[in-house]
C-alpha cells in the first residue's frame, strides 16, 4: 500500500489536487478522457486512491484488492466487480454486505428507467431470521395439531 501513501502525499502538496474536469469522472469511458487528457491522472488514479483510502485500514483494503485481482485475472473486469469484491469481504465494519435490487420501469414495453433499492445485511438477516422463526413456529403448531387430531381419532367416543 506504499503507492497509495505516495499518491496521497503528492495530492496533499498540490492545492488543486483534483481538477474540476476530473471530479466525479473516475469511471468515465476513454472517450471522456480523450477530451480531458490533462486531468486523466488526477481523475482516474488520484480519485481511485482517495476512494480506496476512505474505505478503512490499508491491510483490509489490500486484502480486498488482492481477492478482486485473483477473481478477475485473465478477464475484463467492470467497476461492479470491484464493488462486489469490497462488499463480499466486509472490510472491518465500515462496509457491509448489501442487497441491491433494480426493477425496470416500462412504457409500451420499452425500458424508460429503473427503481433501485439498497438494503443492508443487518436488516436482511433480521428479516430472514424472523421469517424462519415464523415458519418454525408454524411447523411446530402443525405437528402439535396433527398429534391432537391423531390422538382424538384413535380414542373411542363414549368409552
pLDDT band, residue 74 (cuts 50/70/90): confident
Distance of CA 106 to the CA centre of its chain: 26
Please indicate, yes or no, if residue 14 is contained in any of the structural domains: yes
**Backbone φ and ψ of 7, nearest 5°:** -65, -40
Strands (E), the chain: 98-107, 110-120
Please report whether residue 79 resides in a domain. Answer: no
Residue 104 lies in a domain: no
pLDDT by residue (tens digit) across 103-146?
888 888 888 877 877 666 667 777 888 999 999 999 999 999 99
Total number of domains constituting the chain: 1
Does the pTM surpass 0.85? The reply is no
Read off the pLDDT of residues 5-23 as tens digits, 9 standing for 90 and up: 666 666 555 545 678 888 8
Nearest alpha carbon to residue 42 among 83, 87, 7 = 7
Domain membership of residue 90 (yes or no) is no
Residue 112 in any domain: the answer is no
Domain around 22: 1-54
Amino acid at each position: 500500500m506504499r503507492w497509495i501513501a505516495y499518491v496521497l502525499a503528492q495530492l496533499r502538496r498540490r492545492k488543486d489536487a483534483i481538477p474540476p474536469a476530473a471530479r466525479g469522472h473516475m469511471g468515465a469511458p476513454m472517450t471522456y478522457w480523450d477530451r480531458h487528457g490533462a486531468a486523466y491522472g488526477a481523475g482516474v488514479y488520484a480519485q481511485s486512491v482517495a476512494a480506496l483510502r476512505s474505505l478503512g485500514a490499508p491491510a483490509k483494503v489490500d486484502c480486498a484488492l488482492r481477492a478482486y485481482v485473483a477473481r478477475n485475472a485473465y478477464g475484463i473486469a467492470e467497476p461492479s466487480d470491484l464493488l462486489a469484491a469490497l462488499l463480499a469481504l466486509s472490510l472491518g465494519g465500515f462496509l457491509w454486505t448489501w442487497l441491491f435490487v433494480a426493477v425496470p420501469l416500462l412504457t409500451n414495453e420499452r425500458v424508460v428507467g429503473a427503481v433501485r433499492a439498497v438494503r443492508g445485511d443487518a436488516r436482511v438477516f433480521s428479516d430472514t431470521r424472523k421469517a424462519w422463526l415464523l415458519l418454525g413456529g408454524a411447523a411446530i403448531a402443525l405437528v402439535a395439531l396433527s398429534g391432537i387430531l391423531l390422538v382424538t381419532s384413535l380414542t373411542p367416543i363414549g368409552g
